[in-house]
Structure 1
Amino acid sequence: MKPFTVLVVALAVCSLVAAKETAAKEEAVKVEEGSSRQGRLFFLTKLLAGPAALECVATKVGYRCHFKSKEDLCPMLLEQMGCPENQYCGSGPDGNICKPKLQVGDTCTVKTQCLSDTCRNRKCKADACPAVDMSIDCMPTQYCSPGEDGNMCVAKKEKGAHCSSRLQCKSNVCDDRGVCIEDKCPHPYMEERCLPNQFCSPAPYGNVCVDKRNNNDQCHQNAECKSGLCRNGVCKANECPTPFSSEGCNQLTQICMITTNGKECLTKLPNQQPCLLSAQCLSGNCVRGTCTDGDGTEMPNGASCSMPTECASGNCVLQRCAATRNGISGVCMDNDDCQSNNCVLNVCAVPAVATTTDATTMTTTTASAAASLLDIGVACMDSADCASNNCVLEVCALALAAFDRGATYSDMSLCAKAARLDGQSSEPV
């Protein structure tokens, strides 16, 4: 053939091949577009079927919505339901399937996946005890400690070991430095496990037994002091052992009382002093809060008294129970000693109470008459001039009844007034 003819044939063949390739590509594009449209249509159909057609499934990239498979062997992912005891429900290529549970150390999402039933920090763990730094499920000499494969019981630490909790230490004490320390005695300010002359003192690195403190040393509790008494932060001496008793004191005149200086022997109280107990009184009787010679019962005439209510007669005259009170000019110490209820300069005077003679007339009082009588020590001419009804050497003196009864007085100035012989003065001395 001629060269020109060969060239024409070759060009025709190339054009035919190119046309076939172009037709094949166009056909492939049509098929792909049709497949994509069918896929989108299928997915849209499933969505229109509602949420019941979808389920949430755990995948390597998180939870995703997948269409439910008709071949699910268990109903709920990551649950035990529908699977044997040593399996859990996981996802498979054709639906949910039961998978073997994971071993200790395997990666997990929930505890149901683990044979140990514990998933912590996304790892299956085998816990021998439930709570760290506690002794639950451990021996008394152990505590619960976290480990690579789970919590485990380990031996408590010796003195000097580092700690983060007292339960980690054998001594049950972890100080503020984070070190196990040992208490020589269990309870501060007590004597337990210490010598008789010692007490348990708190210290920075454990309680220790120290010697009790002397008198006047600083203290916080009674147990710190040799005397057994800490008052106002200072150890005080005890002169006697038992308050409100005479033990260690003079049995007749003293009683043990608590003071700011400790337990001291104090003198018992005389009559008429306030008291709490009869042991405080020299008389041995504390009646209605007052030391007295009586025993709290009504006393007969002649018995010592301090108030009328103590006497059976209802009359306490000159500190003695009497049948009646003194009359006018009788010796008295207060108004209760007098029938007139008016004691003037230790002498019973006429009543000072006003008496009405007539409802329509002016009120007169016998007090005005008494007021005109002269007091003891004032110059007089006759006994009738004196309130005591006794004028001696022209001076009002004590009533004769007082001297007849042998009365004595603590106020010596009255005696001095009665002894004066100054008849020239008309004013009280």
Structure 2
Amino acid sequence: MNLRHVVAAISLALLLAGLGILPSCSSASCDGGGEGCPCTTGVECGRPPACTGWICDGTCHSFNERVGFRCMMDSCPGPDKCPGVCDGAGTCIGCLQDADCKPGHTCESGNVCSRCDDGVKNGDETDVDCGGSCPLCPGTCNVDADCPGGYCWDGLCARCDDGIQNGDETGIDCSNSGGRCPICFGPFCETNAECASGACEAGVCCAKPCPLCYDCGFPYGECVPRAYGTGDGKNAPDPTIVCAGNYMCDGKGRCALKYNQPCTQNEDCASESCVNGICN
């Protein structure tokens, strides 16, 4: 046999091995190794297909690898080979049991492992092709970072501007003091920005800004008149929320003159009593 014949025989042997066809000594490919060919080591028998091997006892004999032996499959979803297991009959398949698949995935009919793009709710998925070991399902989360512009609460994304009551909200897009969203109504606030309404009145979130001589009524957040005699313009620590000068709140929501101040009519006085030009 000349060199050309040797090269052709070896090439044919490798091709047949790749196709899963084991050559034998009855064919011209015996020089490349194969079933029944003479050998001194298994290497001389050639490269076996997946899930088969060679025994050399002077002659090449093929055998099937044991069930569950790890192999590499050619028929994969992507362009590359992927892991599989031997079925004991000389074929490399995707799986025989769930343990043959990646964590969170299961062995499905047809001996294939579940995937995150197979269009079926399987494995540990919480919906079709999402959740569990697969990417998060829309609107679900594990941490705040999973929720753009919002926060994670009991596995679901919530926002303080989505127009619905969710997350730790006690009203639509607002929470109690210490919650994740602006305060609905009630204590304790320091700035308007802390309140859903944008109105922090004397440390209480109110439904709207309250005028002079009104306070925010807890817990409903409505503006109610301040008590008679409060809002003294001279003695109050913060003159921006009380009456000016010699005025005080009259208990009905307006600033009026204090006791012993000059007046012209009853309505001028917080007491609603103007006698001889003096509030009494």
Greater Rg, structure 1 or structure 2? 1
Q: Provide the TM-score with structure 1 as the length reference.
A: 0.23
Query: Which protein has greater RCO, CA pairs closer than 8 Å, 6+ apart?
Result: 2
Bigger fraction of residues in helix: 1
